[in-house]
């Protein structure tokens, strides 16, 4: 073996070659398969972007229709999964529930681990694209004590997600175009982000030839953390806390800068973006539009804008190149949609699903070796065993 060097947090270590997402953190550029995130958010819908990420090219109408049909075909979840869902207390965090249910899907779909032929891979992809939104919706409905629903499969993919989440028994749910478009955009913006913590997790778990669903379950667990996807929940809780406290943003800025205080400004900073997060730019505009269109006045949006303006002109944040990230404004839109705060990170997972799938598939197709980093041992040298009475 060669010389092992340590790179905590893998700040400068590449783990793979990838043809999926291009990211330039200095210039704030993000592209999926060569298409700019700005253009995709504007012109594509989420299912098209999912197809693009997973299969490498934008689908023709025929390919898209087939993908949609095949996903619908696979969207039924074994009824016994409800028993597992039932066993969770209502207080359970939805990310833990979702991770468990996603892993459990393997038991109900054992053939999903066969991905050696392109056809098997395609079927496994359609299965999870179909069943995952159902698990998301059920997780939320269970928490709210609402009967489980499959929504209306004649609707579009994103439209039916809202339907599955919000439809009431004996009532035709009419989702507004504003919400469908906003959710479409949010999901696209979250769909992939190269080798972040959860994606690296999905790839490394899959590198042991673990099945897709179990690998995704690990990715969901990684995403849960407040430094990663969990930040969107943490942002809203922080903004609420600032509001409750009387709205003094300066006080919280001071806390964030105090090195003896563990508090960080949630939704600020990024490992790779050092100028701006292009996703945050788009989401900020979308937040204004959605709230405007819905006629919602949310004082928390004003606090968020105030905080961002202060941070952008504050020496501490400027010096460390800390800017609002994707999670800073997304929660404000989710809240306007009526999504409970504990579900925010689940919505992130829903968006990231195609990215995780694409990265996992790429790793398998390229026959990457099992992920197995090295270490530098800093423990005791060889010593004699001490019998228990002598310790």
Does residue number 361 form part of the binding site for ligand CMC (CB under 6 A)? Answer: no
Residue nearest to ligand CMC (CB): 269
Does residue number 346 form part of the binding site for ligand CMC (CB under 6 A)? Answer: no
**Separation between Cα atoms, residue 323 and residue 230, nearest integer Å:** 17
**Separation between Cα atoms, residue 177 and residue 54, nearest integer Å:** 27
Does residue number 281 form part of the binding site for ligand CMC (CB under 6 A)? Answer: no
- Nearer CB in complex with ligand CMC: 8/169: 8
Query: CB neighbours (10 Å) of residue 377?
Result: 8
- Nearer CB in complex with ligand CMC: 82/321: 321
- Nearer CB in complex with ligand CMC: 163/330: 330
Residues in the chain, how many?
391
Q: Which long-range contacts (CB under 8 A, 24 or more apart) does 358-362 make?
A: 358/20, 358/53, 358/54, 358/192, 359/18, 359/20, 359/192, 359/199, 359/202, 359/203, 360/202, 360/203, 360/206, 360/212, 360/215, 360/216, 361/54, 361/115, 361/121, 361/125, 362/18, 362/19, 362/20
**Separation between Cα atoms, residue 26 and residue 272, nearest integer Å:** 8
Residue span binding ligand CMC (CB under 6 A) among the ranges 88-96, 208-216, 226-234, 332-340: 226-234
State the minimum distance, in angstroms, from the CB of residue 352 to ligand CMC: 9
In the annotation, is 327 catalytic? yes
Q: Which of 116, 270, 293, 298 is catalytic?
A: 270
Is 161 in contact with 350 (CB distance < 8 Å)?
Answer: yes
Does residue number 8 form part of the binding site for ligand CMC (CB under 6 A)? Answer: no
Site string for ligand CMC, 316-335 (x = CB under 6 A): ----x-x--xxx--------
Pick one of 264, 274, 281, 305: the residue that binds ligand CMC (CB under 6 A): 264
Does residue number 265 form part of the binding site for ligand CMC (CB under 6 A)? Answer: yes
Does residue number 267 form part of the binding site for ligand CMC (CB under 6 A)? Answer: yes
Within 13 A of 281's CA, how many CA atoms are on the CB side? 11
Site string for ligand CMC, 190-219 (x = CB under 6 A): ------x-----------------------
Q: List residues binding ligand CMC (CB under 6 A).
A: 9, 196, 227-229, 231, 256, 264-271, 320, 322, 325-327
């Amino acid at each position: 073996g060669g010389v092992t060097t340590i790179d905590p947090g893998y700040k400068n270590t590449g783990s793979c070659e990838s043809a999926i997402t291009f990211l330039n953190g200095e210039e704030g550029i993000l592209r999926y398969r060569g298409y700019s995130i700005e253009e995709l958010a504007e012109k594509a819908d989420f299912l098209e972007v999912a197809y693009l990420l997973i299969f490498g090219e934008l689908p023709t109408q025929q390919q898209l229709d087939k993908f949609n049909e095949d996903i619908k075909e696979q969207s039924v979840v074994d009824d016994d999964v409800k028993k597992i869902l039932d066993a969770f207390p209502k207080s359970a965090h939805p990310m833990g529930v979702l991770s468990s249910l996603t892993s459990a899907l393997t038991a109900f779909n054992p053939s999903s681990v066969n991905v050696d032929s392109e056809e098997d891979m395609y079927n496994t992809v359609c299965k999870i694209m179909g069943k995952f939104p159902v698990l998301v919706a059920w997780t939320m409905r269970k928490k709210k004590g609402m009967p489980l629903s499959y929504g209306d499969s004649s609707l579009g993919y994103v439209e039916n997600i809202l339907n599955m989440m919000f439809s009431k028994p004996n009532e035709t749910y009419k989702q507004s175009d504003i919400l469908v478009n906003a959710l479409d955009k949010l999901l696209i913006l979250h769909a992939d982000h190269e080798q972040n913590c959860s994606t690296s997790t999905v790839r490394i778990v899959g590198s042991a030839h673990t099945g897709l669903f179990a690998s995704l379950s690990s990715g969901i667990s990684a995403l849960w953390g407040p430094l990663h996807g969990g930040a969107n929940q943490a942002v809203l809780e922080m903004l609420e806390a600032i509001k409750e406290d009387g709205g003094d943003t300066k006080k919280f800025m001071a806390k964030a800068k105090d090195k003896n205080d563990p508090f960080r400004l949630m939704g600020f900073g990024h490992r790779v973006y050092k100028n701006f997060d292009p996703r945050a730019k788009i989401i900020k505009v979308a937040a204004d539009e959605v709230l405007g269109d819905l006629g919602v006045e949310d004082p928390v949006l004003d606090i968020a804008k105030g905080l961002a303006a202060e941070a952008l002109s504050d020496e501490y944040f400027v010096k460390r190149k800390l800017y609002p990230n994707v999670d800073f404004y997304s929660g404000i839109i989710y809240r306007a949609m009526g999504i409970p705060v504990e579900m925010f990170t689940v919505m992130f997972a829903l968006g990231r699903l195609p990215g995780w799938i694409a990265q996992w598939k790429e790793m398998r197709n390229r026959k990457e070796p099992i992920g197995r980093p090295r270490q530098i041992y800093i423990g005791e040298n060889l010593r004699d065993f001490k019998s228990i009475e002598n310790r």
